[in-house]
Amino acid sequence: MKAKWFYDTPIGKICIAETDGKISHLIFMHASLSDDYIEEETALIKKAATQVFEYFDGKRKEFDLPLNPMGTDFQRSVWAALETIPYGETRSYKDIAVQIGNPKGVRAVGMANNRNPISIIIPCHRVIGSNGSLTGYGGGLDSKQFLLDMEIKNG
């Protein structure tokens, strides 16, 4: 089964989706999801939304959800590395490339980060440029800054 539901958050409207009993997407409203998802707030989607709102309230620093981000093996290795970045900290694209054993793959890491289908829960917002600058984010740079500031404040 594929289901999706929409929520208003402090950084705008999001869509949380599940595929076969695992969270497959947390996307911002300007992103698109295929038409084969039914609109239904399943128990798992509701649990994910509860955890996301606890995160926004500063009460949750780690998520406890079954995830199924669909992508290539390389993308999945990048996304797994993102999950190791502690709350309130950042890493550079180069740091992630080195962590996954591909130190020359900085650009590829950037592309994989950009294609992360489960934003916030898989914290791609914690990846910044090597010079400390904010770089692209699916929810926009204002949202990325909001999330980073919120984590520092609630750390």
Residues assigned a catalytic role: 124
* Cβ contacts of 41 within 8 Å, gap of 6 or more: 3, 5, 49
Strand 12-19 and strand 2-9: the pairing is antiparallel
Asked if 18 and 44 touch (Cβ cutoff 8 Å), the reply is yes
Asked if residues 153 and 57 have their Cβ atoms less than 8 Å apart, the reply is: no
Neighbours of 36 (CB within 10 A): 7
Neighbours of 72 (CB within 10 A): 10
Sign of the dihedral defined by the CA atoms of residues 93, 141, 146, 68, in that order: negative
